[in-house]
Structure 1
Amino acid sequence: MSRYSDAFEKALTLKRLDQLTRLTEDLYGVVHGMAWIDDAIAKAPLLDTYRFVRRPTLCLGAGDPSASQVFMLDPQKRWVRTLSRFYRLAPFTVSWPYSGGGQ
């Protein structure tokens, strides 16, 4: 018997489970040097304006107040994996006066 009586709650849980499954597969692919990871990163959207947000965990924000939890970051190759997807990152610059954000 399912513990979910509400179809909406069940749908949200299944969506989150799918996100976590894809995240796990991507992290496994990065750690084990799987060839398809380079293609996935190359096709990822480019964020040219972004900032790192410190909450209880490191988060990535791009223009609006929302931010996604960062699960993996490669600052040399300039990409990040959040819960939902990979993003390519434009070079990080600091605007003056420094306010703790990106561009």
Structure 2
Amino acid sequence: MKNALEIKNLFKNGKKVSIFGAKLFLLQNDLGFNRIGFPLPRGFGNAVQRNRAKRFSREAYRILKTHLNTGFDMLLLVYPTSEKDSFSTRCVQLRTLCEKAGLLSLGTESAGD
């Protein structure tokens, strides 16, 4: 997702699901596939920390995407916390958010554990 109007619409009209350290905004689209963005809030560390956070998010989504329902625009917003940012934490965050949002396809709830 690169269109600023679509991103603003998703923030304004999308369903929001949150856990400690992350929020997922989602809105149904008319496409047969998912689109996802990984914005970071202002003041999220330095360039190295921002790039690492986005890289962890992209890889966590890549692993989980085959188990998700399609036809959604999503934004995964990650907040800086006192805990060390790690790939395993991001995988748990994204999976939990998708479960809360009802995005996981039936029969895949235990996949990847």
TM-score (norm 1): 0.27
Higher helix share: 2
- Name which structure has the greater RCO, CA cutoff 8 Å, separation 6+: 2
TM-score (norm 2): 0.26
Higher strand share: 1
